């Protein structure tokens, strides 16, 4: 564990990419841990865009009071095409040097860490990453900040849809987020007893889906829920519904896209605790001299994954979860 420093460092923290519930809890942990160890902490607003434009200000313990329960991010977030240019990075470096920043704590996902890795190859300001994404697809951690809240939001929405589906003998196609990964669809689908789950990692064809639903109809099911990850190769929920509904005229067919509801809202207890642990670990990793790594949680223990490995690999859906979903869908 680092000791309180006699020579304070200047540490900066920012959020980038898509927002995730729990980001504020992580910001709070980073700020208060830096202050606890006797260092100055600065907030960069609007991600890499704000880094380029010099939207940087010092944060204090009171700056992060009463935010642990709030969704979104008090530092705002943005995606930055400018940062991916040499001119943009040079401007960002100039702004960081203006505030004598020694370390940067980056809260985000794959794109955020790629940007940090590219920047550090050009300039000698090291980064430590904190995994914040509702998709849960980052390699090097069992869970990412925001995932637990997102799946609970999806679960609650699907539970409500199930009520109306049963009341009207309806076949509902529910689209959840997951452009490249099906973790949200898989977890929320199993938790709500979905009859079928379509995810990018599992090549369930329309023909197989129709057969699955037909078996349910033969067992006199009065309603069906199909959870579709937005990145499934058969298309989103509207496309899948259009392909399927002609085969099930006994059902009224409806489509619901949960969308950005999954990004918002007060983070769950799990996300708040995870964000707090990873925020503290990120600052302690920086003070211990670790460079360009992502802090994560594996089997309840803090681990460190180099950015080059975290952005090259992706966490995959456990095959046992796919098997479980198939068994329970009968």
Catalytically active residues, by annotation: 135
List, in order, residues 6 or more apart from 207 with CB less than 8 Å away: none
Four-CA torsion 88, 94, 96, 102, nearest 10 degrees: 120
* Stretch (H or E) spanning 215: helix 206-218
Going by C-alpha positions, the residue among 16, 21, 22, 75 that lies closest to residue 264 is 21
User: Do 14 and 51 contact (CB within 8 A), yes or no?
Assistant: yes
Phi-psi region of 263 (alpha: psi -120 to 50; beta: other; left: phi over 0): alpha
DSSP string for 216-271: HHHTT-S-EEEEEETT-TT-SHHHHHHHHGGG-TTSEEEEEE-GGGGT-SPPPHHH
Q: Read off the tokens for 124.
A: 């000698």
Rg (CA), the chain: 22
């Amino acid at each position: 564990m680092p000791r309180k420093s006699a020579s304070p460092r200047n540490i900066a923290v920012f959020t980038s990419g898509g927002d995730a519930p729990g980001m504020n809890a992580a910001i709070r942990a980073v700020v208060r841990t830096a202050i606890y160890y006797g260092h100055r902490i600065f907030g960069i607003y609007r991600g890499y865009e704000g880094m380029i434009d010099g939207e940087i200000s010092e944060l204090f313990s009171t700056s992060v009071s009463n935010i642990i329960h709030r969704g979104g991010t008090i530092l705002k977030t943005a995606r930055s095409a400018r940062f991916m240019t040499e001119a943009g990075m040079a401007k960002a470096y100039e702004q960081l040097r203006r505030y004598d920043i020694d370390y940067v704590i980056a809260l985000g996902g794959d794109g955020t860490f790629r940007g940090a890795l590219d920047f550090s190859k050009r300039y000698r300001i090291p980064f430590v990453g904190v995994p914040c994404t509702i998709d849960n697809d980052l390699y090097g951690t069992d869970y990412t900040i925001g995932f637990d809240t997102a799946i609970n939001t999806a679960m609650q929405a699907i539970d409500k849809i199930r009520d109306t589906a049963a009341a009207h003998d309806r076949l509902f196609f529910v689209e959840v987020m997951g452009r490249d990964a099906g973790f949200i669809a898989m977890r929320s689908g199993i938790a709500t007893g979905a009859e079928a789950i379509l995810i990018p990692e599992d090549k369930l064809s329309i023909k197989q889906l129709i057969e699955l639903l037909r078996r349910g109809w033969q067992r006199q099911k009065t309603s069906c829920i199909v959870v579709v990850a937005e990145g499934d190769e058969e298309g989103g929920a509207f496309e899948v519904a259009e392909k399927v509904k002609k085969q099930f005229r006994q059902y009224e067919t409806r489509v619901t896209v949960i969308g950005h509801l999954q990004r918002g809202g007060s983070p769950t207890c799990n996300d708040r605790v995870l964000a707090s642990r990873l925020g503290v670990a990120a600052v302690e990793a920086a003070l211990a001299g670790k460079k360009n790594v992502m802090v994560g949680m594996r089997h309840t223990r803090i681990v460190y994954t180099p950015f080059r490995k975290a952005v090259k690999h992706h966490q995959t859906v456990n095959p046992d979860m796919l098997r479980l979903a198939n068994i329970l869908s009968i």
